[in-house]
Structures are given as structure tokens and as C-alpha cells.
Amino acid sequence: MNLVLVGAQWGDEGKGKVIDVLAAEADVLIRYQGGPNAGHTVIVEDEEFIFHTIPSGLLHPGKIGVIGNGVVIDPAALLEEIARLRARGIDVERALKISDQAHLIFPYHTRLDAAEEARRASATMLGGSATECGGGPIGTTGRGIGPCYVDKVARCGIRVADLMDDAAFREKLRRNVEEKNRVLRLLYGAPPVEFEAIASQYRAYRDALRPFVVNGVRFLHDLRQQGKRLLFEGAQGTLLDVDHGTYPYVTSSNATAGGACTGAGVPPTSIDRVIGVVKAYTTRVGEGPLPTEFPALLMEQIRTKGKEFGATTGRPRRCGWFDAVVARHAVWVNGCDAIAVTKLDVLDAMPAVQICVGYRDGAQPLDEFPSNTAQLGRCAPVYETLPGWQSDTSEIDRFDDLPAAAQRYLRRLEALLGVPICLISTGSKREQAFKVGPWSLSSTT
Ligand code: IMP
């Protein structure tokens, strides 16, 4: 069985942890979009690993990891990650493959990312209403993700296959550097980047990356023919998807399940199941509406207990109650067969828990997710309040052993989303997760 795992909120749902648990049953782990903006945290035997570009199931011995064509690669960041895995004794040359169609991030992309964010910030200060109109800063991770995807769509991006072809690479890079320097100078008043410095740095990257490069479509086709079980790891989350998220406060790729096909080069018929991952509450980093955002005191309490700080940037995450309108939108877009719920333990101390079951835009009730982000920003959540369980769930490993109030909360989430829960995580360690119901990646149906 081949499975896609996606974030069903604004990213940081704990996908790294869930993937690490599921990876035990998979043969091949595939990243299909995003890049080093992602930070998937896995904790094994008290040691913490944060994966940015490499599939996060690779800590399991004997697995193969693939970085698909839909991913944008910063070679420096990737090589650093490779070195960390190697130091842990993983035979990375055997375990990791990179699609030759993946696009590369260059220093001008990160510089453009920062310059555009600064321009948006100053437009907000001058214009006042820029934020409401989507003209304010996005709050990007600053990793050059957006500008790299812009080049991909504008058909001037440079791919891994280009890097492997020295003459073609220099020619493409020269053209891009000239153009980006014009933009940096004229539009942003920012310093230029230097062609020769980048060319020689990337020549070194080419040699280091060459052993990993494959034709991704062929590679995955062959593995599917051999009956290998594929696990596609979505990065970010549905509400950060460039089409289905809170546009423009989104990332620049398709973080939804559909992205797995285009971003890995596999047909839709090769996907058997989709699992959405949600936190037991909601978080988001960066700008944009978050209807269920907590008031300051509760925010501090949950942020501290849930260690809600970005794995890539260290930024504090904004936290709020579980938003069933958001999660149901994600279930529909992705076609989730089931959901995994993480960080249930973070709510352990709450005397009562709230679930957003709809919105109100002034007097108008809304029960579906609005496409107009400004409208979402105006919406007030409509809450259902349930009793809290006020007991420790972090050692529990069976649904039936959870406190009755926690079971009721989870059953209510299932009813609101219309899909069953298949896994619950109650802590950051690998052991602090248990399956609910009789499904497995090994089954053929
Ligand atoms: P970018 O992907 O760096 O362009 O950032 C665009 C938006 O997506 C910002 O709000 C980021 O905070 C958010 N974002 C990007 N990657 C992640 C992630 O892995 N987790 C959570 N938010 C993310």
C-alpha cells in the first residue's frame, strides 16, 4: 500500500513524528514539495533530529529516501543534513536519491526573499491597509523558497540535471545572475551577488551531490513495479498550500496530497491512502489569519507546554483552539481516509477545551472555509465547549485507556471531520504514539 501523509492545518502538525512511526512499515520515503523551509522533528532515544529536505523516516535502517522533483534544494543545507546522517552511521549514499528534475535554490533567491519581505514590511508601515489587502510581509522562513518556485514557473529555474552539465549550468547561471542583480539593484536597492563565486561554490556541490542523483520517475516506477511500499511525506500544511491555503499567506508549493503526484512523478493511481495530521489544537507561524488564536495568557501556557517554536527559524508559533472548519477543509481537499492527532498531552491541564465548529462574519454564519482571506480575518469563531480531562495522557498507549473526556473530545473531532482517527501521539518520543483501529501500510486493501 502507498500512502500520502499531509499536514491538515498550517504546518508543524507533528508530521515528522508520525512519519517516523509509520516509516517502520514503509520501504521508500519521498519528499515531494517544499524545501529547507520545512523542519520535521524526530526524537529517538532522547536524541533530536530535525529534517529539512531529507525525508524524515530515514532514521529507520534499510529505508530508501527520495527527494522528488517538486522539492527545491539548497545544496549547502542538504549537504549539511547528509553529513549529520552520515555521522549517525547511516549509509546515506545507499539510502538517499535526488531527482534530477528538482530545482536548486541559489544565494540570489534567499536575498530576493529577504528584500521582498523588507519591501512589504515598509509598504505596511507607509500604507496602513497593506496587511489586510495581503500586501504586508508573509513572514517567510527566509530560505529563498518563493523566489525559487517563481523561477521554476517562469521557466528560468536551474535544476539538478543542469548542475550536472557544466557548460549549460554556467550559461544558465550567468543569465540568471545578470537578471537577478538588475532586480536586486533597481527594485530593492540591495547589493548584487557574484557570478564566479556562486559558480565555483556550486561546482563543489555538484561533485558532492552527483552520487545521489537519479531519474526520479524511473527510479520510483521501478520500485513500484517491485511492490515496494511508498510513503509520501508532505511538508508544511494544507492551509499553507499555494492553491488551497490562506493565500497570499502561504508557501509557494502544493503541500496538499495532489502535490505528491506532480512532485514525485507518480500517477494518481499509485496512491492508495491519504492520512491528514492535525494537532489537538492549532498553530501557525508567520502572518495571516488564525481565527481561533488564544488570548495572551493561554497562548503563553500552551506555547510553553507544547514547545511551540519553529524548528527551522525558532520563531514563536501562534496557538489557538482546534479549528474544525479548517481541518474539514483539509480533509476534503486531500481526500483524507483518516487523521492522526498529535500533541494531545499539551491539553492535559485544561479545565475545558473548545472546538471551533463554524464562523460568524458579522451577523452572517459561515460553516465552510472562506476563500477570501480578508473575510477569514474578520470571522469570529463559533465554539463548542467540552470538559477537559485534567490528567496525564503522556504514558497512555491505548484509546480505551484515555480519560473519558479525552475520548469524547477525540470522538467529537472525528464526527466533525467525518473521518476516523488512526493514530494518536501524546509526546515527542517515538514510543509516545499508538494506533487506533486495524489499519496498516502492509495491508493490500
Ligand atoms: P516560505 O515557505 O518560507 O515562503 O514561507 C511562507 C509561509 O509558510 C510563512 O508563513 C512560513 O512561516 C510558512 N511556513 C513555511 N514552511 C513552514 C513549515 O514547515 N511549518 C510551518 N510554517 C511554514
In this structure, are residues 395 and 403 in contact, taking their beta carbons and an 8 Å threshold?
A: no
Q: Distance, CA 300 to ligand 1 centroid (Å)? A: 21
> What pTM value is reported for the model?
0.95
Gyration radius (Cα) of the chain, Å: 22
3-state secondary structure of 47: strand
Q: What is the pLDDT of residues 314-371, one digit of tens each?
A: 999 999 999 999 999 999 999 999 999 999 999 999 999 999 999 999 999 998 899 9
Domain 103-211 fold is Adenylosuccinate Synthetase, subunit A; domain 2 (1.10.300)
Does the beta carbon of 3 lie inside 6 Å of ligand 1? no
Q: Distance, CA 225 to ligand 1 centroid (Å)? A: 35
* Residue at grid coordinates 537577478: 180
Name the residue with the closest Cα to ligand 1, atom 1. 140
Q: How far is CA 84 from the centre of its chain?
A: 21
Does the beta carbon of 139 lie inside 6 Å of ligand 1? yes
Q: Is the confidence at residue 430, as pLDDT, over 90?
A: no
CA nearest to 387, candidates 413, 416, 411, 353: 353
pLDDT band at 443 (very low <50, low <70, confident <90, very high): low
In the set 20, 27, 40, 151, the catalytic residue is 40
In this structure, are residues 312 and 38 in contact, taking their beta carbons and an 8 Å threshold?
A: yes
In this structure, are residues 120 and 138 in contact, taking their beta carbons and an 8 Å threshold?
A: yes
Residue to mutate, 56, 254, 285, 318, ligand 1, most ligand atoms under 8 Å from C-beta:
285
pLDDT band at 440 (very low <50, low <70, confident <90, very high): low
221 is catalytic: no
What is the Cα–Cα distance from 191 to 223, expressed in whole angstroms?
A: 46
Listed in sequence order, the residues at least 6 apart from 253 whose beta carbon sits closer than 8 Å to its beta carbon are 33, 34, 70, 72, 145, 149, 236, 241, 242, 259, 263
The mean per-residue pLDDT over the stretch 129-134 comes to 56
Q: Is the confidence at residue 88, as pLDDT, over 60?
A: yes
Q: Distance, CA 438 to ligand 1 centroid (Å)? A: 34
pLDDT of residue 126: 63
Residues in the chain: 445
What CATH number has the domain spanning 3-98+216-435? 3.40.440.10
Q: Distance, CA 154 to ligand 1 centroid (Å)? A: 21
Domains of the chain, residue spans: 3-98+216-435, 103-211
Q: How far is CA 270 from the centre of its chain?
A: 22
CA distances in angstroms from 72 to 52, 68, 148, 365, 407, listed in the order given: 11, 9, 7, 40, 40
Residue to mutate, 37, 105, 247, 309, ligand 1, most ligand atoms under 8 Å from C-beta:
37
3-state secondary structure of 163: helix
Mean pLDDT (the chain, rounded): 94
12 is catalytic: yes
Does the beta carbon of 379 lie inside 6 Å of ligand 1? no
Residue to mutate, 15, 251, 309, 315, ligand 1, most ligand atoms under 8 Å from C-beta:
251
For the beta carbon of residue 367, count every other beta carbon within 10 angstroms. 11
| 170: DSSP letter | H
The mean per-residue pLDDT over the stretch 222-234 comes to 97
